[in-house]
């Protein structure tokens, strides 16, 4: 299918970008765009007029914004379903696309996203928290030379969305608490440990949450993952049930690495500090700067780099949800075979 491009001529100066977002993700994204010197917002859509960013033209229909003659790129944060649809429209107009994970609502859909993105002449980037962590602090730690995780413990808790939020609806989301509160840590887990051989999962909707909300998607989830060489990981995620924390701990034979929203800490087997690095609090700004630099440098490979990792997270989610239905261990790797996708080597 032919692509009508708004980017045939490289225009000097900031990249003209449109923001299509809604809900609580709108304000931080608007602030991140404002903080990025390589981006110039030209319009917004997707939100009610009462929530719009002051001083920025608002379009009632996102398609009108995508047709803006000066637009070169679009930042999407509506819902997983809507972001996929809008990204497809943007790609057909030759616009560069940035959006938040997860990659899609199912592994099959995720494979389609990856295949289409590789055929585009433009940048298609799905934000990567792991790249942010690795670039800022992970590689700076003084690691023991033989550090290899053998047991990982992932815990994610957060206040849940309301009953009208898209995260509560099966048609709009990849799932509930797992692809929401736990996603960044799942990406970090896959980045360090690779794809597990099998997953045993349980997910649940425990009636009304403590704040009186009914949802279609899961409120709680637990899973046990098995890796090669007898490696194990345990996942636990919950909405509306304190403590509200996000923490991933990798236990090695002689050292322990702990990753949170705020820092990465390395301790010995007794718990004594070996090294630690605080994480800066500018994930979205850093991500959008990376996106803009990829556009300016025409670095499609850099933008595509996180796709395989996001696809692996999608396979892991699919295995956990399937296991919860079958009451049997499920292999994330088999979904690659079923969809004819290339399986990551690590």
Give the model's pLDDT for residue 299. Answer: 66
Of all residues in the chain, what percent carry a pLDDT higher than 90? 82
In a domain, residue 1? The reply is no
In a domain, residue 57? The reply is yes
Give the model's pLDDT for residue 207. Answer: 63
Degrees (nearest 5) of the Cα angle 43, 46, 50?
Answer: 85
Helix axes 307-326, 183-193, angle to 10 degrees: 110
Q: What's 201's domain CATH number?
A: 3.30.360.10
Give SS3 for 134. Answer: helix
Is residue 224 located within the same domain as residue 288?
A: no
Give SS3 for 306. Answer: coil
Give the model's pLDDT for residue 146. Answer: 84
In a domain, residue 346? The reply is no
In a domain, residue 238? The reply is yes
Give the model's pLDDT for residue 13. Answer: 77
**Is the model's pLDDT at 5 over the cut of 60?**
no
pLDDT in tens, 25-77: 999 999 999 999 999 999 999 999 999 999 999 999 999 999 999 999 999 99
Give the model's pLDDT for residue 1. Answer: 40
Give SS3 for 52. Answer: coil
Residue reference for tokens 């009186």 = 212
Give the model's pLDDT for residue 346. Answer: 53
Sign of CA dihedral 105, 111, 115, 121: positive
In a domain, residue 138? The reply is yes
Is residue 120 located within the same domain as residue 212?
A: no
Is residue 43 located within the same domain as residue 184?
A: no
Note down the domain range covering 100: 15-128+284-306
**Is the model's pLDDT at 237 over the cut of 70?**
yes
pLDDT in tens, 209-219: 555 668 899 99
**Is the model's pLDDT at 208 over the cut of 70?**
no
Q: Residues 71, 3, 100, 197: what is their CA dihedral angle, to the nearest 10 degrees?
A: -170
Q: Which two tokens stand for residue 344?
A: 């990551």
**Is the model's pLDDT at 261 over the cut of 80?**
yes
Q: What's 35's domain CATH number?
A: 3.40.50.720
Is residue 108 located within the same domain as residue 27?
A: yes
In a domain, residue 10? The reply is no
* Contact indicator for 307, 315 with CB cutoff of 8 Å: no
Choice between 196 and 144, residue whose per-residue pLDDT is larger: 196
Band (274; pLDDT cuts 50, 70, 90): very high
The count of domains in the chain is 2
Give the model's pLDDT for residue 2. Answer: 45
The CA-atom distances, in angstroms, between 115 and each of 74, 170, 299, 304, 340 are 20, 24, 18, 11, 11
Band (96; pLDDT cuts 50, 70, 90): very high
Mean pLDDT of the chain, nearest integer: 92
Give the model's pLDDT for residue 145. Answer: 85
Give the model's pLDDT for residue 341. Answer: 87
Is residue 120 located within the same domain as residue 161?
A: no
Looking at 68-77, 139-148, 211-220, 262-271, which range is the least confident one?
211-220
């Amino acid at each position: 299918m032919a692509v009508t491009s708004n980017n045939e001529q490289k225009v000097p100066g900031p990249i003209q970008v449109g923001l299509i977002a809604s809900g609580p993700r709108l304000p931080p994204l608007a602030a991140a765009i404002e903080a990025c010197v390589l981006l110039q917002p030209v319009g917004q859509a997707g939100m009610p007029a009462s929530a719009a960013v002051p001083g920025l033209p608002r379009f009632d229909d996102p398609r009108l914004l995508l047709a803006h003659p000066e637009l070169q790129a679009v930042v999407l944060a509506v819902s997983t379903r809507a972001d996929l649809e809008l990204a497809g429209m943007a790609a057909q107009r030759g616009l560069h696309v940035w959006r938040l994970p997860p990659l899609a609502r199912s592994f099959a859909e995720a494979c389609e996203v990856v295949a289409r993105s590789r055929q585009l002449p433009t940048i298609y980037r799905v934000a990567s928290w792991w790249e942010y962590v690795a670039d800022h602090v992970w590689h700076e730690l003084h690691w023991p030379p033989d550090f290899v995780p053998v047991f990982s413990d992932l815990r994610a808790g957060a206040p849940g969305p309301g009953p009208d939020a898209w995260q509560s609806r099966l048609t709009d989301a990849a799932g509930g608490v797992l692809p929401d509160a736990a996603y960044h840590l799942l990406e970090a887990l896959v980045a360090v440990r690779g794809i597990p051989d099998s997953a045993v999962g349980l997910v649940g909707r425990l009636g009304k949450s403590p704040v009186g909300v009914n949802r279609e998607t899961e409120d709680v989830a637990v899973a046990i993952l098995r890796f090669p060489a007898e490696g194990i990981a345990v996942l636990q995620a919950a909405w509306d049930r304190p403590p509200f924390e996000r923490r991933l701990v990798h236990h090695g034979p002689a050292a322990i690495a702990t990753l949170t929203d705020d820092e990465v800490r390395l301790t010995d087997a007794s718990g004594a500090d070996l090294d630690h690095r605080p994480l800066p609090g500018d994930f979205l700004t850093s991500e959008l700067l990376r996106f803009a630099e990829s556009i300016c440098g025409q670095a499609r490979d850099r933008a595509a780099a996180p796709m395989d990792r996001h696809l692996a997270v999608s396979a892991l989610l699919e295995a956990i949800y399937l296991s919860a239905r079958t009451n049997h261990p499920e292999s994330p790797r088999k979904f690659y075979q079923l969809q004819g996708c290339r399986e990551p080597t690590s």
